[in-house]
Structure 1
Amino acid sequence: MIIAPVLIGLAWLLGLRSILSDAAPDALASGFRGGVGTFLTALAVTVAWVVGYLTFFAGGKWLQARASGNTRIQDGARRPSLVYGAVTLVAVVCAVILQPHLLWWGIVFAPLTLIAVSEIRRGTPRSFIAGAAETVASAFLIPVLASVGVGSATPVVDGVTFTRSLFTTDVIEALPKEVWVTLLWLALYQVGTVLYVKTMIRKKGDRAWWIGSVAFHVAALAITVLTVTSDHLGLLSWFLAVMVLGWAAWRAYAVPKDATSAEPSTEWTPKKVGIAEIPVVVGITLACLLAAGLYDGPLVLFIH
Structure 2
Amino acid sequence: MPNQHGAWAMLAVPFLAGTFLGEPRWVHLPLFATWLLGYLAVYHAQQWLRLTRISRNPRAPRRHVRPALCFGAAAAVCGLPVAALHPWLLLAAACAVPFVAVNSLYAYRNRERSLWNGLAAVVPACAMLPVALRLGGGMWASGVAPALACLLYFAGTVPYVKTMIRERNSRAYYRGSVAYHCVALVAAALLDPWLAVPFALYLARAVGLPGRGVRVGVVGAVEVVGSGVLLGVVVGVF
Tell me, in whole angstroms, the C-alpha distance in 2 between the residues paired with 1:221 and 1:227.
Answer: 10
Match of 1:6 among 15, 37, 48: 15
Aligned partner letter, 1:211: R
8 Å contact 1:11–1:289 — kept in the other structure?
A: yes
Question: What's the counterpart of residue 52 of structure 2?
Answer: 66
1:119-138 matches, cutoff 5 A:
119-138=106-125
8 Å contact 1:116–1:129 — kept in the other structure?
A: no
Aligned partner letter, 2:21: W
Q: Deviations over 1:205-246 (max 9, x none)?
A: 211111111111111110011113xxxxxxxxx52x221111
Question: What's the counterpart of residue 235 of structure 2?
Answer: 289
Moved over 6 A (4+): none
How far off is 1:280 after superposition? 1.1
Question: What's the counterpart of residue 176 of structure 2?
Answer: 212
Report sequence identity in percent: 28
Tell me, in whole angstroms, the C-alpha distance in 1 between the residues paired with 2:84 and 2:153.
Answer: 33
- Alignment of 1:94 with 2:81, yes or no, is yes
Question: What's the counterpart of residue 43 of structure 1?
Answer: 29
More helix by share: 2
Question: What's the counterpart of residue 201 of structure 2?
Answer: 247
Tell me, in whole angstroms, the C-alpha distance in 2 between the residues paired with 1:91 and 1:242.
Answer: 38
Q: Structure 2-normalised TM-score?
A: 0.88
Question: What's the counterpart of residue 226 of structure 1?
Answer: 190
How far off is 1:181 after superposition? 1.2
8 Å contact 1:109–1:137 — kept in the other structure?
A: yes
Q: Deviations over 1:160-219 (max 9, x none)?
A: xxxxxxxxxxxxxx4343x21111111111110111011111111211111111111111
How far off is 1:45 after superposition? 1.8
- SS class of match (1:66): helix
- Alignment of 1:274 with 2:234, yes or no, is no
Q: What is the CA RMSD across the aligned residues, in angstroms?
A: 1.9
Tell me, in whole angstroms, the C-alpha distance in 2 between the residues paired with 1:79 and 1:121.
Answer: 19
Q: Deviations over 1:29-52 (max 9, x none)?
A: xxxxxxxxx633x23321111111
Larger Rg: 1
Question: What's the counterpart of residue 199 of structure 1?
Answer: 163
How far off is 1:104 after superposition? 2.7
The gaps in structure 2 that reach 5 residues or longer are 1-9
8 Å contact 2:23–2:137 — kept in the other structure?
A: no
How many matched pairs? 228
How far off is 1:75 after superposition? 2.5
Q: Structure 1-normalised TM-score?
A: 0.70
How far off is 1:107 after superposition? 4.7
Q: Deviations over 1:243-288 (max 9, x none)?
A: 11111112112222xx1xxxx4xx3222221122222111111111
Question: What's the counterpart of residue 6 of structure 2?
Answer: none
Aligned partner letter, 1:200: M
